[in-house]
Amino acid sequence: MNMAYKQVIVVRNDIKMSPAKLAVQVAHAALSAASQTGKKTVSAWQKEGQKKVVLAVKDKKSLLELEKRCRDFRLPCSLISDAGLTELRSGTTTCLGIGPDEEKKINKVTGSLPLMK
């Protein structure tokens, strides 16, 4: 039986970011979370096409609660805070990268969240 893998990036909906800023924050989260993941899992995920999904939460509190759930489920994750060089204040928490890991494990934590629009 083949496992299905994916990576999820969760972005705060209450921060106004330009499309370019949002893209950079999501890229930071994707790379940082992947670096927290074991090589075997990353390799399997890459062979499957590196599935990624971008979801949304309403605010920082929701993002921090989600990070705690990820840690409780032992999912690799990385919380991203902006350096403050362009649009946002230094230290602004923008998003959370999760995985890659088994899709079914990630869905237990993120399955109820809406897609980022």
Q: Assign domain 5-110 to its CATH superfamily.
A: Bit1 (3.40.1490.10)
Burial class from Cβ neighbours inside 10 Å (0-12, 13-18, 19+) for residue 63 reads: buried
The pLDDT mean for the chain works out to: 96
Query: What is residue 85's predicted lDDT score, i.e. its pLDDT?
Result: 87
Mean pLDDT of 33-58: 97
Measure the CA–CA gap between 7 and 45, rounded to whole angstroms. Answer: 9
| Mean pLDDT of the region 39-47 | 96
> Could you read off the pLDDT of 9-18 as tens digits, one per residue?
999 999 999 9
Q: Across residues 96-113, what is the average pLDDT?
A: 97
Sequence-ordered strand ranges (E) for 1-117:
5-12, 52-57, 77-81, 93-102
Residue where the block lists tokens 């979370």? 33
CA 84 to chain centre: 20
Q: Write phi, then psi, for 31 (nearest 5 degrees).
A: -70, -45
